Amino acid sequence: MESQIRKFAANTVSMSVEKIKTEEKSLNFLEEIVEEDLASGKYKSIVTRFPPEPNGYLHIGHAKSICLNFGLALKYGGKTNLRFDDTNPVKEDVEYVDSIKEDVKWLGFEWSQELYASDYFDQLYAFAVDLIKKGLAYVDDSTPEEIAAQKGTPTEPGKGNEFRNRSIEENLDLFAKMKAGEFPDGAKVLRAKIDLASPNMHMRDPLMYRIKHAHHHRTGDAWCIYPMYDFAHGQSDSIEHVTHSICTLEFIPHRELYDWFIDKLEIFPSHQYEFSRLNMTYTVMSKRKLLQLVEEKMVDGWNDPRMPTIAGFRRRGYTPESIRLFCDKIGVQKRENLIDLSLLEFCVREDLNRNAVRRMAVLDPVKLVITNYPEGQVEELIGENNPEAEDGGGTRSIPFSKELWIEREDFMEEPPKKFFRLGVGLTVRLKYAYIVKCTGFKKDDAGDVTEVYAEYIPESRSGHDTSGINVKGTIHWVSVQNALTAEVRLYDRLFKVENPSNEEGDFKEYINPDSLQVLPIVFIEPALAEAVPGAPYQFLRKGYFCLDENSSSDKLIFNRTVGLKDTWAKEVKKG
C-alpha cells in the first residue's frame, strides 16, 4: 500500500504540467456524498467546519483538512465555520488561536463564523442534564483504573458497578455539585449509560465530563468540569447545523457514539465522514511531536523554515497557491498513505517558476577578472525580471564591470570533455552580458584558485550580439564593485529517514544534522536591495529564495525555498 502511494506520488511528479492542468479529476468520495445529499433534497445547502484544537501551530496535514472543508463549501455554495475545539483547558493558548487564524487566512480561505466550543459550555451542560433526566447518563466515583478494568476487553463484555444504578435525582444532584466545584480533580466523572457489552469499546459507557480545576484561556475559572471530545464535538457540529462533519480515519470507531448522542438528544442530525490523514516522508506531523522540537530548541520556533507547519512553509517561501495545489493533487482517500515530500516540492516549483522574479547571486564565489575590459568602467545592462511572465515581468538594470564574482564550481583547472563552463581556453556566455574566453587563473599557497582570468568579446553583448560565436554554456555573475552581501540559509529535510515516527526509539534521534547550512557571505546583485518579505525570487541556476523575516537592510538574509530540480530523485537513481 505504502509503496503504491509513493509510486502514485512519483507518477504525479513526472506528469507534464499541461497534463496536470487539463486533467479532469473525477469527484472524490466526499464530493459524491455532497452531490447526492443536495440532489435528494436532504440539505438545501451544506455547512462544513474546520475544528482545530488551539494547542499548537497548524501543519501541512491541517492544510489538507482546511482545503477539503473550505473547498467543499466553496464548490457547492455552502459555508464553513472556523471552530476552535477548546475543551481541554490545560494545553491551549491564545497564541495558538491567533496563529491558526493567520494561517487559514494566508491559505486563502474565509470562514463564515469564528466559533469556540467553549462558548457552548452552558449548552453542553444542559445537554448532559437532559441525558441524566432520560436515564442515559450517571455519575461514577470509580478511579480511571477501575473504570478501565470494568470495561472488559474487545472479546469480553464489561461489568457494571454500583454507581451505574444511581437514581436520576442523585445523578442530577451530584452532577450539579461537580459543576459547583465540590469535588477534587478526578473524584468523579459523568458517563453515558449505553451498553457495557457493545463490540465497540467506545460505546461501553464512555466518559462525558471530567473534573479539572484549571484556568481556561477563554472561560477563565467559570468551569471546573470540562466535556470530553466525544461529548463536545458532535454536539458543537449539531449546534452549528454542520451537515458534513469531516474528520480523519481514527475517528471511525467514534462515529457510533457521535450518532448516539445526537439521536438521544434529538438535535440537528450532523453526520461524520472520515478520510485518511496526510502523512509525508521525512516529516513528523503531530503537534505533540512538533511541540517537542520547539520546546527542546531543536528548531528555531514553530515557524522554523524546516518545520512542516504552515508558518514554517510561509517563512521558507512557499506560497498559498503551491500548498493548495498540493492538497488538490493528493486528493482525498479512505486509506492510510504516505505522500512523498517531493510532490510538495514539485508543486512549489510549479508556482514559483511562473511567478518568481529572476535575480543573480553567487553562493560560493571566486573572482573573474576580464583583462581586456576598461578599468573603472561600469555598464548598466538590462535583464528581464521573469521570462515566464507574459510581458517578461519588466526589467531591471544590472551593473557589469571588470571584476566579477562567479561560482567556484563554474571554473575547473582541468575541465572534462563536456564541461561547458570555464577552464583555460573555454568560452562561456555571462548571462545578460558578454561571451568571455578563459585565459588563465591564479592559485594561493594552499592550492586553491583565487582568481580566474578571461577576455571578453565586445561585439557579443546579449541582445546586440554580432560576434557569430556560438557557446554552449551560460553562467551567472555579480559585479564585484556593485555587489551587495547577504546571508543565505540552505535547508534540507529535517529528518534523515523516510518515516521517523516508525523508527525504533525516539523520533528526535533521526533529525538530519545537516538540515540547515548557513552561507554567511553571499554576493547578490544590487536590485535585491529592494527584496520584500513574502516575494519569491529565483536566483539563477541556484533555486528559489525569499527574504527571511529576520532580515534587515543592514543584514539581508535569504532562505532557500527549494532547489530548481529534485536533487534527491537523482540520488535515488544513482542508488
Q: Is there binding between residue 278 and ligand ATP (CB under 6 A)?
A: yes
Compute CA distances 413 → 169, 228, 426, 449, whole Å: 93, 70, 11, 9
- β pairing state of 537-539 and 357-359: parallel
Compute CA distances 164 → 55, 135, 297, whole Å: 34, 10, 48
Among 62, 204, 233, 476, binds ligand ATP (CB under 6 A): 62
Question: Using CA atoms, how far apart are residues 385 and 359, in angstroms rounded to an integer?
Answer: 7
Q: Is there binding between residue 78 and ligand ATP (CB under 6 A)?
A: no
The residues annotated as belonging to the active site are 53, 277, 287
Name the helix (H) or strand (E) containing 75.
helix 60-75
Name the helix (H) or strand (E) containing 72.
helix 60-75
Handedness of CA 205, 206, 212, 215 (dihedral sign): negative
- Name the amino acid, one letter, at 204: R
Outline where 252-404 has alpha helix (H): 255-265, 287-295, 310-316, 320-330, 341-355
Q: How far is the CB of 59 from ligand ATP (least distance, A)?
A: 6
In the region spanning residues 219 to 248, those forming contacts with ligand ATP, defined by CB under 6 A, are 247-248
Q: Is there binding between residue 49 and ligand ATP (CB under 6 A)?
A: no
Q: How far is the CB of 56 from ligand ATP (least distance, A)?
A: 6
Q: How far is the CB of 552 from Mg ion (least distance, A)?
A: 38
Helix (H, G, I), strand (E, B) or coil at 370: strand
Helix (H, G, I), strand (E, B) or coil at 189: strand
Q: Is there binding between residue 158 and ligand ATP (CB under 6 A)?
A: no
E strands, 492-542, are 516-524, 537-539
Q: Is there binding between residue 287 and ligand ATP (CB under 6 A)?
A: yes
Q: Which does 131 bind (CB under 5 to 8 A by kind): Mg ion, ligand ATP, none?
A: none
Give the largest Cα separation in the chain, rounded. Answer: 102
Q: Confirm whether residue 85 is marked as ligand binding.
A: yes
Helix (H, G, I), strand (E, B) or coil at 246: strand
Q: Is there binding between residue 53 and Mg ion (CB under 5 A)?
A: yes
Question: Using CA atoms, how far apart are residues 32 and 38, in angstroms rounded to an integer?
Answer: 10
Q: Confirm whether residue 63 is marked as ligand binding.
A: yes
DSSP tag of 385 = S
Query: Which C-beta is closer to Mg ion: that of 53 or that of 451?
Result: 53
Q: How far is the CB of 65 from ligand ATP (least distance, A)?
A: 4
Q: Which range touches ligand ATP (CB under 6 A), out of 30-38, 45-53, 182-190, 323-331?
A: 45-53
Question: Using CA atoms, how far apart are residues 534 and 528, in angstroms rounded to an integer?
Answer: 14
Half-sphere exposure (Cβ direction) of 219: Cα atoms closer than 13 Å: 20
Q: Confirm whether residue 133 is marked as ligand binding.
A: no
Query: Which C-beta is closer to ligand ATP: that of 287 or that of 476?
Result: 287
Q: Confirm whether residue 286 is marked as ligand binding.
A: yes
Query: Which C-beta is closer to ligand ATP: that of 218 or that of 264?
Result: 218
Among 161, 198, 286, 512, binds ligand ATP (CB under 6 A): 286
Q: Is there binding between residue 569 and ligand ATP (CB under 6 A)?
A: no
Q: Confirm whether residue 229 is marked as ligand binding.
A: yes
Helix (H, G, I), strand (E, B) or coil at 427: strand
| Total chain residues near Mg ion (CB under 5 A) | 1
Q: Is there binding between residue 51 and ligand ATP (CB under 6 A)?
A: yes
Give the CB-nearest residue to ligand ATP.
Answer: 61
Terminal Cα distance for the chain, rounded: 23
Q: Is there binding between residue 292 and ligand ATP (CB under 6 A)?
A: no
Q: Is there binding between residue 328 and ligand ATP (CB under 6 A)?
A: no
Handedness of CA 476, 478, 484, 487 (dihedral sign): positive
Q: Which range touches ligand ATP (CB under 6 A), out of 47-55, 148-156, 416-424, 539-547?
A: 47-55
Q: Which does 548 bind (CB under 5 to 8 A by kind): ligand ATP, Mg ion, none?
A: none
- 425, 422, 418, 427: which is closest to 410 by C-alpha? 422
Q: Confirm whether residue 278 is marked as ligand binding.
A: yes
Q: Is there binding between residue 291 and ligand ATP (CB under 6 A)?
A: no
Q: How far is the CB of 277 from Mg ion (least distance, A)?
A: 11
| Binding site feature residues | 53-55, 59-65, 85, 229, 248, 277-278, 285-287
Chain residues in the site for Mg ion (CB under 5 A):
53
| Binding site feature residues for L-glutamine | 85, 229
Chain residues in the site for ligand ATP (CB under 6 A):
51-53, 61-62, 64-65, 85, 247-248, 277-278, 285-287
